[in-house]
Structure 1
């Protein structure tokens, strides 16, 4: 569910989406009217009416609803269920007819299902409501469409709609049918859901203004990064057209390891940019809890929120969460190992890309290592790569003095790309503060000296 490119396009998408939803709701209204007429206005017993007698409307190809229908091959019953769930959000008055009272019991019709909340004055559909719209009181038809409303049905499995239980003793058909705000926004205004960083969602969206051309890495690493991009682009073909869903896990997991500043985070951002996917960096300080069971709950919120969003989840400094399991000596060790096991389960079930970043491969639990589809070693850049990083790092506004020698700097100082950019920032700000654009070799070497002191290294 990608966001539209610009505000003008958003207006266009919203208009197209409105047209599509108008047609879909009109179709639902026709089916509902026919169902009620057949149910109430026959002389002896309810008339037999099949919902599929009313042909689904053709929708604008550009509409997000049509894209959703095409992607998941939604059938008429599933489209009607989705339209019913959408109605309270976009045309609530359309379901007011279901508030009609049963003249024999002087209460609402049980067979209509539905709820009425304290704040929302309209009719809120339940699974029972959907079954009535699709099947009336015909048990054979009810049992035929019932699987489309089970927890493992397509609409629920793909997180298109949700069913919210009211209590353990209630019939399963009394569950309210709802839709997430992100799906509602995408189907209506066309905007993508971008959750804000919070304690409930300890992840921050990260991106970069840089391009693949500016990524200075050995060709072997570029090839491995392209493999991840290929999975993002073609995994649907692999799973569906090649019928590999029963043999392969739905997602893709990779390990980026190497010293700080060697391009792990930048590579994750560029993958997102290239694949048109949002990248979320997980804040492990908020994710990991000292209280037993809380870490699993925090992980569940991350993966539940990210489900079916086509996001890339980036766990930086992953050793804290994905580290090797310990020998069980006390209850805390046992629960820590349970956290790792739970994480393994969620990663295997996740349908997107998970990238773990660590300084050392050996810090990661062997159980994760076996499950990685890709392990990429980010090493310190060689001298030719360091020279290119120096040349690309500075602004085009900089006027270098004649003594600046990037080749000499690259040969003499074995430092990472991240360290080089720290030096670039220091030198550039120093020049600006002196109201000049000139940078000399001494300025750069002074910046390098500062970085070495920070890292506890000797020049």
Structure 2
């Protein structure tokens, strides 16, 4: 029987996500059953902690022990399913229908495990329920989380040999991580506890209506073997921040723009302007620096220390060739007490136009270093009025929208600007997948569940 091609990239993704959902629901059901057994049998906290050992040895209610081959779960598609899927992918290519994930796997020569790891990391970008299932499988709590290396290995590996081989896919030297499309977050955590995240460009490519090889080449070229992300912000940026924060950002721009005049008037000027931005993810730290670069009409260089193996080695390079506008994300890795403080101070004082260190919490910065920053700006989570504006900005002008009660939506869901942007995009994908002519409140609520 001749294989039927997929209608488009989204039709293909729905098939892959349906398989993933079945896999996750099976894992959730098994974990709930195991949890009930452990709670019923264990008598002390020590019993619960060591349950991974004794539940595989002690046989309850004539159930086969969990280390028996008869109880090994199916963690990957069956051969017939995979063969049918491959046949449909080939039929789609013959019809000129671009499927993003297969094209990516073909270009980077990724194996089935790596392909499914990308799919697992992509799923929360499509619907939050995947993140909630990941949270339950990882912590036992119904809280959204990104998948960890441990979870991916548990879901996809059936034997110890498979586990050992698959683990190497997440090392910094692997082709998947080297490509820059996937990053391993939380470098200070144990390796298995680190979470996996796809780059925004990779997510956009995988969710595109129609993908092609040229688009992928453009995506890969600037990212391979390069920890610096350089850009010139062009689209006008409309910040939604409290007035005092906006005034501080404008002061930074003014100090840089009027440096020659201040020197001419006899005022002593430091070589450049530096700042410490403090705030939770999604509160606008990166966007604020992009706004400053846009006002100054200068290129912006971003470095995320969370994805750099040896961040201390970068300091010398940055001191030798300082970018005009530099944003250092996850700066805790340089500002903590064990870091080479003298070099960090030299970097802060080195000649450049503007340097911004971005951290989540003030406590991450040693007191001795706080006075080194000319500006310290704390970006709060948006209040209800700001969230109304953020919701309205999240949808482009050409997006078809039904009537919304923005005030109620903003009051009921205390989200950051970054979260609102992500939910708006996911709601658009949800509407398109249901062949809706416009985005409705139901689509947003489906993503929020």
TM-score w.r.t. structure 1 length?
0.47
| Structure number with larger C-alpha Rg | 1
